[in-house]
A and B are shown apart, each in its own frame.
Chain A
């Protein structure tokens, strides 16, 4: 049971960090409670339940796995906790739904870890996953209601589901498996067709932001597989041309871009959300005005797309930056994991999942602050909403699986007809950190 690569990771002082995080979350809870006219028992239960769940997960995890490498989970709990606080400051219903979403997310996370634990099993999943993805998106196109100009929602009564969020997980699974496993042109072609299918469906749904995220992830996976910068440049060029044509032909997309870098000229029209985010972010200063004390919460989509601005205003820039750097931490962890992972599959999956999270985060945060055009995507883990939460946790599983110190590192698993050199040097993989 030697663990040659995990030693290179800094040892995680789990209990200390957990205490600090619990303290932070209790503070957040207090801030929410003091604004209530009378103390809501339900809210107390929600926060108490959440903090208890964190501790149970950590303690059981430590006991079962005999180690305490839980950096990723702590970061995810930290982010989810902030999201939960924001929801709780809106209403009990939001908080309860968000708590359920976090629970489901954690379940998805554990199931994913289980599913991809064995590379061969993960490989078998790729066809069902691909068919399922295209099927869900197709179903979506048929069933979806038009919400905010995009068709990307299915209403199931209590919950509305955004299927594209769930497809994100499968997209990475399919991509990582296909490209890990096969060098053949046919499998590459199949994957390209699959990707085009997904992106095309999202365009039909007019969900430009998510289509962009898929496209970016596609490039990342392609790069991980080919390592060929020229190929990537070519893909980008084609995409750029495509984008120009879209803007040319689709005035509604062009309209969204019209305000870009000129939001103050469109303060009450297409720059409304961005200017409000800037105004109230600046108002918050470093420490914020207090949870529930802001005015950004009255703006449409404050708890979903604009949640970063809300955090800036009410919790202050320091917490907001902590959120951002948490994601940088996840991405950093992903690289370390990828370098020490037991299989190329894990490396590709971890890197593309981290890239996808980081890219979506950038589209969100920089979109609402007018550094990038506004595309209307959510902030992973933090934005209110079930689909987004499930997706975030699901993606996290790929990163965790790559660096999972659950068992001793294995040799790179040779998969049928893979003519790799991977078998030759299994022992050296992680040393380079």
Chain B
């Protein structure tokens, strides 16, 4: 009897194991509950794989970009606004994986660890999200791009707020093309090019090369470079966009002289160039808060001098992500501290009170940033002309990304020095030709919009 009594204690072991299992279940529910509850298969939120019941997405001025009404998702009234915010807001089926609908689906579902999605069930709406995006600015940028595809983004380099983010091509979410997923014409339309796109940078990469030169060549400002339209190395030739004669460092930047920058690149060498680029976030996984950015890549050739020269002027294998480059511009404008562009103003009431902390993802030495700032200001003041950016005190750099056999991409990256307008802009217009053209115009239009409406 007593022996069996003792052995009966084996049941205690079973109870302990059982309660451990229950504990594990409750713990995973606690940790993963939001993700589980906001799964596409949850019919409280989704119907046929698309969101029907969820919180409202507002832009920074309180414009409703998407909301639930009577078991349906309703979008912005204006069709151009709908197109211009498509990638930011995202589709209801989660195909645009960087859209707010998909990325913040757990927030939109109104899930709470205490109540589950009871609130959503009762009211049909979950937690509201307010974006930093100004949908009117998006509309302006979308229209300004005209027939060109590409990406435009503007952010406040002092706070990290992403005010404008447009990716083209886009479609009207209320008139989704039937053959969206099958027609090759729509390839890549679900990609938010600001977040997930990478492009050959062209001359905007000279900003990075210049930073490397400032930090590694002490007498760079007293150097001169000879440009006769071509820079020859022992294994190839770098072609310039013109014949600039004798130029100094600043003039080389103003003229975007390929000969001078190829020479500087080769003198610096691949290792130093790469080190500077990587210190600015190239080749590493960056996040704009919750959003994963596609990596910018820079791997200058250590073998071929010509390839190294091409890499230093933004050709060769170099690729940049627009949102990342926006943060680089932010760093230059903001004494070396480049905040991550943050799309979200607040996720629900609590977050609205607490606010969101800006996150520093690009770091440049303050003295280097100051020198780059002067170079970029001189670009606009002495070369492009302040009349192109009336009243903005712009700094910036144009770029022309040459692509084999196609018309070049047109780039502009820059920012305003005005205290009351601490905005940086990045614009890439695909196949837009030389930089001073399309991208500059688009950037100016968006910046002028903010100059009128933000100040």
Residues of A within 8 A of B (CB): 220, 223-224, 227, 267, 275-276, 278-290, 293, 295, 298, 316-317, 321, 324, 327-328, 331-332, 334-335, 338-339, 344, 347-348, 350-351, 354-355, 358-359, 361-362, 365-366, 369, 371, 412, 422, 425-426, 428-429, 432
Contacts of B41 in A (CB 8 A): 267, 275-276, 279
Contacts of B118 in A (CB 8 A): 285, 287-289
A174 to chain B: closest CB distance in Å?
17
Interface size class of B (residues with CB under 8 A): 35 or more
CB-CB contacts of B111-132 with A at 8 A, as 1s and 0s? 1111111100100000000000
Residues of B within 8 A of A (CB): 1-5, 7-12, 14-15, 17-19, 21-22, 24-26, 29, 32-34, 36-37, 39, 41-44, 111-118, 121
Beyond A276-B41, A285-B117, whether A362 also contacts B18 by CB under 8 A is yes
Chain B residue nearest to A289 (CB atoms) is B121
List 8 A-B residue pairs with CB atoms under 8 Å apart, sorted by A's residue number: A275-B41, A281-B29, A286-B113, A288-B116, A344-B4, A354-B11, A358-B18, A366-B25
Cα A147 to Cα B155 with chains together (Å)? 62
Sample of 5 further A-B pairs with CB below 8 A, known A224-B7, A354-B14: A285-B114, A298-B43, A334-B8, A355-B10, A361-B18
A308 to chain B: closest CB distance in Å?
10
| B37 close to A282 (CB less than 8 A) | yes
Closest 8 CB pairs of A and B: A285-B116, A338-B8, A282-B36, A282-B37, A282-B33, A285-B115, A339-B5, A347-B4
Most buried by B among A287, A335, A355, A366: A335
| B114 close to A422 (CB less than 8 A) | no
Contact of B42 among A279, A285, A361, A365 (CB under 8 A): A279
Contacts of A282 in B (CB 8 A): 29, 32-34, 36-37, 111, 116
Chain B residue nearest to A336 (CB atoms) is B8
| A362 close to B21 (CB less than 8 A) | yes
Cα A429 to Cα B11 with chains together (Å)? 18
A178 to chain B: closest CB distance in Å?
15
| B21 close to A371 (CB less than 8 A) | yes
Contacts of B26 in A (CB 8 A): 317, 321
B84 to chain A: closest CB distance in Å?
34
Contact of A412 among B1, B21, B22, B113 (CB under 8 A): B1
Cα A297 to Cα B338 with chains together (Å)? 51
Contact of A279 among B11, B39, B112 (CB under 8 A): B39
Chain B residue nearest to A362 (CB atoms) is B18
Beyond A293-B121, A422-B1, A428-B2, whether A321 also contacts B22 by CB under 8 A is yes
Contacts of B44 in A (CB 8 A): 283, 289, 295
Contact of A371 among B24, B33, B39, B111 (CB under 8 A): B24
Cα A354 to Cα B25 with chains together (Å)? 22
Contact of B11 among A286, A355, A432 (CB under 8 A): A355
Contact of B117 among A283, A316, A354 (CB under 8 A): A283
Chain A residue nearest to B35 (CB atoms) is A282
Contact of A331 among B3, B14, B113, B117 (CB under 8 A): B14
B34 to chain A: closest CB distance in Å?
8
